[in-house]
Structure 1
Amino acid sequence: MQTLKEPMHADVSPARVAALLIAAFLLLLPAPPAAAEEAAPARSIDRIAAGPETLRIRLSGGNDRERFRLVALHAWEPDDAVGTLVHAGPGGEETVEIPRRLGDRDLLFSRFLVEGDRRRPARWATSLEPPAEGTQIRWPAARKGVAVPDSIDDAVELGSAHVTVNVELGSLLLPPGAEDPPAAFIVNRDGQRLRFDPATVRHWDEQIGEMTRRGLHVTVVFLNQLQKVAAAKGVIHPATNVEEALFDLGAFNLTDARGVASYTAVLGFLAERYSRADRRYGHVGGYIVGNEIDSHWTWHNMGEADLAAVARQHERELRLAWLAVREHAPGARVFTSLTHSWSRPNARAPLRNTAGRELLEALTRLSRAGGDFDWDIAHHPYPQNLFDPRFWDDQLAMFGFDTPMITFANLELLPAFLARPEMLCNGEPRRVILSEQGFHTLPGVEGERLQAAALALAAYRIFRIDGIDAFILHRHADAAGEGGLLLGLRHLAPAPGELGPKKLAWDVFRAMETPAFESSAAFALPYAGHERWEEAAPRPGPFPEHAPEWAGFKRREAPLVDLTAAADQARFENDLDHGVKLLSLPDGGMADALYLHPNTPDGPAAAAVFAVDLGDAEAPELAFSPYVAKPGSDGVLFRVRVDGEELLAAPVRFGSMQEQRVDLSAFAGRRVELRLETEPGATSAYDEAYFVSPAVVRGRRSD
């Protein structure tokens, strides 16, 4: 036996001693969990229910020995933010109840996760306890209505059940420096002191109150109109391109505390005020968040943004609107807003437009990930050409789920798509309202009859499609400033405050949803080639994924350069609007086209500029068909320039379409700058100009 003074054996090194000490330490640790516990899923949040004072959070997974911590993220914080600790407890807890308010912060508008588990999306409250006061707002059985009525009396005489009103967020808030309003118009939300404009509120009290008293169901279109807000109010999305927002509408600022507080406080104020049991100020049953989100650059501007960014922003807008509204108004509905473009965007400018279908799919995935909630769809199924009411001729409205458009012609596809398992919300399809659409009136008596016929045929179809809860016509009366569209049931008013003469469509609308409708509107049937109403009925389905009508699509065979495909890399200059669109052609076919709307006559030409490598192609040519799509145009001049040299100048008027071939052989073997230009005539109004199927091709001399 060795004494402590004896030297150590040579094989007992310091590293070995350290290893022995670690082994001894590990022996003192508790035994590892059983295999079944090791396989247990991580702690996660299943559901959050909100009451007036508390939040109840139901959890699953984990094991009894593992403590966990819950953190809350502000609505404006990114997903990787540290968050705020709101609870720490033992692993066995299945339900956690926490105070809803943390200082001056209302946790209803926060999302939650288990600390340390960032693999799972943060979760939101998806169940709200009904308020002690207020009323359950019910959706009417009748479906017809008019958008933003010019006369409540006339809307009632028409038998309307629904109306919409446009409410702007910024107009409800007082600017900095304004005198404080009475205390009833001041709200403190999450540390932000917000002051409502009493004059604006009282205006809506009068309007909504009168509409409710007259039996009209009111839906608010909630907008962020840029001219009516100051940047100091903090409600403009920081990425909004204010200068280029064509119709002065932008996305809501949900990127900071002030923006979120303003957004949720205004919607909560409206919902509480317009859901009172005594109906003192009237009732609002629905809130449409923004306008035509798939065409976001034009109608919901948040700058140039891809599909993922638009979907994240808008899902947050819908989520916070739903929480703010449902806290006070159970049964009030929240809607997204979509154009008639479906599998293809309105124009293929990927940072300015998205396809409606892709946006709906992305919103569905995001809302499920954070805890599903029942937002619905406000769809705008205008005819393919807004200036032609004959929707039954819409070539781009096909009967497959990859249809380019969903218009009145194939509207049955939308509820059918929403009934697919991957689109359901808690096992149920989302509902649809048609909140903005109408029919243009062409000149003369026959133009009025055609508008009325289109309205009658559309109504017959709509009222036989399950899943559509409202058909709200735009417009009640013709109005200036609609780009030449005459969509009303009445003509232009002769003077402010007066109503214009009724059109035939007025009588058709009044007869809708009455026993007299089919007999009084039978004149409409021959317009669509029908003899009986049953022939105008919606198709029953099921519908294929791929529409058979795509067989009519025309594309160039083996182009050297497809300029519609290359448009994403092009530079656009001086245009009012541009993009790539699927165009319905005069000969009945379809083709992709480069859309280039010229600017004003006193400005430079609109241009799409491409860098094109002509390589070693023999006798290359530029081939395209210039086309002006709207009848009101006074003509467009189409130009082609290569490296500054003008090769073509072709004046084109509405209706004509003849292919042009431009010889590029002098530039063969070079990389060139190709400019496609459009110039207006005396005015650029209605100058919807297209280069149809533009491509660099092998010249005919080389065939």
Structure 2
Amino acid sequence: MKNIAIDRMCLILFAVLCGGTLFAQSTCYENPEQVRKLSQYLSREYTSSITSVNAGVDAITIKGSAIGGENISLCEVTPYEDIVGTRVFKNRIPVNAGTFSKTLDRYIVKDGFRYDRTLSRWLIVKNNGDTDSIISHARYAGNIEAIQKTVAEKPSSKKGIGDCQATETMLRDLDDLRITSATVNIRITTMMYSQSGTDRLEHSYGGQKYYFDKRQLQTLDESLIACRDRGIIVAAIILINRKADSVDPVIGELFQHPDFTDAGRYSMPDMTTPESINAYAAALDFFAQRYCRTDKKYGRIHHWIMHNEVDSGREWTNMGDGKPVEVYMDTYVKSMRMCHNIVRRYDRYSQVMASHTHAWAVADNKDTYASLDMLNILNSYCRAEGDFKWGLAFHCYPHDLREPKTWLDTIALYNHSTPIITYKNLEVLDHWIKLPVNKYQGKDKRTLWLSENGTNSPTYSDEDLAEQAAGFAWGWTKIAALDGIDAHQWHNWADHEEEFGLRIGLRKYPKDDYVRKPVWYAYQAAGTENQDKVFQQYLPVIGIDSWNIIQPVE
């Protein structure tokens, strides 16, 4: 959830009226040369190419075409190595000019670990004496043979819930509200240890042993089993707590990004050392192995939301202050690709998802990014380094999270230059996700979940409660009509005292006995035969005569 402390509507309006984007990118460039090299690498058209990387259970095959005469090599680049900053690549295999195919062991000992080479990128370089010149884009493994056969599953409706937990009242709501999709939070460093101990489950990866808290796993199991038993499709949100909040200081040190600042609630994972990469990969492997079983013994995780609200990364996925968007995305894409390639070993249908706030074409403030810029860069990586099945986990809260009257969001426009996308103008997001340039390999629409959303009741007055329900009714009417949107998860299920002063739940505070609010009944009716009857009372609240509210996108 984005920080709601400062309303920047006036600044954003100024930018829109002036025909520009006020905060289109981060403005503090710590390394302009790195930014230039990354941009050049992504946009350049190379004459040589890696045409495919296919991973079997024990071997990996790299095919390509090299143009450029002598001294040409196929190079392996690990996640902790920097492509554009490397002068001479150390992991190299000589190849002749022309087409080539190399089949290698998938697992090797590298930097002290048993290393899975599906985590690497492969590229072609030409040696010029004391430096290498990159003559192709790098490419990840595109086809990864799964070790088991899973079944593709999708939500049977668009109605979901966020942060699902197996409490008595929430379990009852899963049934009463007819929930078909949900999110759960996995805070890796609050349950992972470097040493054995009481109530810890061992997991070996890369020749190293790690340990996970059995009690926390049991809690997660209970939530996922409850979803399994109800046919609910689940996305896990992968979060990295700051080092100070980690249960094991060794694990905390391995996971926290080296440039992390105290402004962050969560960290970007450290992708800069072999030790950190192995620990992060071990955690992802552990959760994929446990929750992608064919028998669903512990429940199933279908999708993996990578971190939280990366366009507000300084607060929610921190890797330092003032990072240029190009530098930030270079690390974020590595994290996405690592998770994708690990979970695909267990489930060929698993997808990773990028997490974004409603800040679309204009960044929320000078310390954040524009979601559209970041998604365009993600698409650039897919074109350059091979596409993969990523989806979008979008948060379409009203512009002011306190204000439930989302239909009044003045800067939520019906075009792709809109500063924000909220419940008001979901048509833009629906249109964007269906553009060929944004589809997987230009053909398949990517999965789009509205994975954290809701309207607020500033108080528990009748008027505020009615406006909260009306805001949802507006949003749901659009969600139901827009086939580019696959699911919507309400957050928070109940009002919470630590939710920035918001009352954004379907139910009141625990101290108020979780009393159902009018929005609970609207959510229950959504998508059922009772929808028209329940929603009818909110037309005069909004000031409209019908639910014919879908608008064209300019």
Same fold? TM cut 0.5 = yes
Instruction: Please list the CA deviations of residues 442-463 of structure 1 after superposition, one character each: whole Å capped at 9, or x if unmatched.
Output: 3311211111111112101111
Name 2:474's counterpart in structure 1.
457
**For the residues of structure 1 that align with 2:438 and 2:222, how far apart are their CA atoms?**
39
- Which residue, 276, 280, 295 being the options, matches 2:297? 280
Change (3 A) 1:249 1:195: same
Equivalent in 325, 328, 348 of residue 310 of structure 1:
328
Q: Report whether the alignment pairs 1:445 with 2:462.
A: yes
CA distance in 2, matches of 1:136, 1:228: 37
Q: CA deviation at 1:412?
A: 1.2
Q: Pick from 100, 104, 110: which aligns with 2:106?
A: 100
Asked if the contact 2:356/2:371 (under 8 Å) is kept, the reply is: yes
- Aligned-residue offset at 1:289: 0.6
Bigger Cα displacement from structure 2, 282-291 vs 519-528? 519-528
Letter in 2 for 1:118: I
Cα distance, 1:374 vs structure 2: 1.8
**Residue 115 in structure 1 maps to residue 125 in structure 2:** yes
Distance across 1 between alignment mates of 2:216 and 2:87: 38
Alignment partner, residue 65 of structure 2: 60
TM-score (norm 2): 0.83
* RMSD between aligned residues: 2.2
Which amino acid counterpart does residue 98 of structure 1 have in structure 2?
A: L
CA contact (8 A) 1:134 1:272 kept: no
Q: Which amino acid aligns with 2:255?
A: V
Aligned-pair CA distance for 1:324? 1.3
Write the mapping of 1:432-581 to structure 2, written as runs, cut at 5 A. Answer: 432-443=448-459, 444-494=461-511, 499-534=513-548, 536=549, 538-541=550-553, 543=554
Once the two structures are superposed, residues 119-159 of structure 1 have per-residue CA deviations (whole angstroms, 9 ceiling, x without a partner) of: 4332111111232x251341223111111245222222111
Letter aligned with residue 54 of structure 1 = A
Q: Percent same amino acid at aligned positions?
A: 27
Moved more, 511-520 or 467-476: 511-520
Separation of aligned partners in 2, 1:335 and 1:470: 13
Q: Is contact 2:182–2:233 with CA below 8 Å preserved after alignment?
A: yes
Q: How many angstroms apart in 1 are the aligned matches of 2:298 and 2:162? A: 20
Distance of 2:120 and 2:208 partners within structure 1: 16
| TM-score, normalised relative to structure 1 | 0.66
2:187 is the counterpart of 1:168: yes
* Aligned twin of 1:211: 227
SS of structure 2 residue aligned to 1:237: coil
Largest Rg, 1 or 2: 1
For residues 485 and 325 of structure 2, the distance between their equivalents in structure 1, rounded to whole angstroms, comes to: 26
CA contact (8 A) 1:239 1:303 kept: yes
2:234 and 2:300 in contact (8 A); partners too: yes
Partner residue of 1:266 out of 258, 283, 299: 283
Which of 371, 378, 391 is the equivalent residue of 2:393? 378
Q: Quick one: distance in 2 between partners of 1:387 and 1:59?
A: 54
Contact in 2 for aligned 1:67/1:91 (Cα 8 Å): no
Correspondence for 1:76: 80
What is the count of residue pairs matched by the alignment? Answer: 486
Matching residue's letter, 1:152: L
Counterpart in the other structure of 1:668: none
Q: Which fold has the larger relative contact order, with Cα–Cα distance below 8 Å and residues 6 or more apart in sequence? A: 2
Question: Helix, strand or coil for the counterpart of 1:240?
Answer: coil
Over residues 228-251 of structure 1, what are the superposed CA-to-partner deviations in whole Å (9 max), with x where a residue is unaligned?
A: 32452110000001x332xx2111
Structure 2 unaligned blocks of 5 or more: 1-45, 127-132
1:291 and 2:308 aligned: yes
Q: What SS class does the counterpart of residue 481 from structure 2 fall into?
A: coil
Residues 276-314 of structure 1, C-alpha deviations (whole Å, 9 max, x = no match): 111111111111111110011111111111211111111
Partner of 2:356: 338
> Residues of 1 paired with 2:403 and 2:216: CA distance?
38
Stretches of structure 1 that go unaligned for 5 or more consecutive residues are 1-40, 544-703
- CA shift, 1:67, in A, is 7.8
1:493-544 Cα offsets, whole Å, 9 max, x none, are: 138xxx511111111111111122122211112222221222x2x2243x2x
In structure 2, how many angstroms separate the alpha carbons of the residues matched to 1:200 and 1:137?
28
Query: How far 1:181 sits from its partner (Å)?
Result: 7.5
Q: CA deviation at 1:81?
A: 6.0
Please give the secondary structure, in 1, of the residue aligned with 2:392.
strand
Q: Determine if contact 1:322/1:334 at 8 Å carries over to the other structure.
A: yes
Deviation at 1:180, TM superposition (A): 8.5
**Shift of residue 318, structure 1, vs aligned partner:** 0.9
CA contact (8 A) 1:167 1:222 kept: yes
* 8 A contact 1:74–1:109 mirrored in 2: yes
Distance in 2 (CA, whole Å) between partners of 1:280 and 1:62 is 51
Taking a change above 3 Å as real, the CA distance of residues 51 and 206 of structure 1, as seen in their structure-2 partners, is: same
> Cα deviations across residues 318-368 of structure 1 (Å, max 9, x unaligned)?
111111111211212211111111111111x1xx21111111111211232
More strand by share: 1
Kindly indicate whether the alpha-carbon contact (under 8 Å) linking 1:185 and 1:197 is maintained by their aligned counterparts in 2: no
**Could you tell me how far apart the structure 2 residues matched to 1:66 and 1:141 are?**
57
Output one character per residue of 1:363-383: Cα deviation in whole Å (capped at 9) or x when no partner.
Answer: 211232221112111110100
Inter-CA distance 469–362: structure 2 relative to 1 (3 Å threshold): same
Work out whether residues 338 and 380 of structure 1, in 8 Å CA contact, stay in contact via their aligned partners in 2: yes
Deviations 1:161-185 (A, max 9, x none): 1111111111231145x43887x72
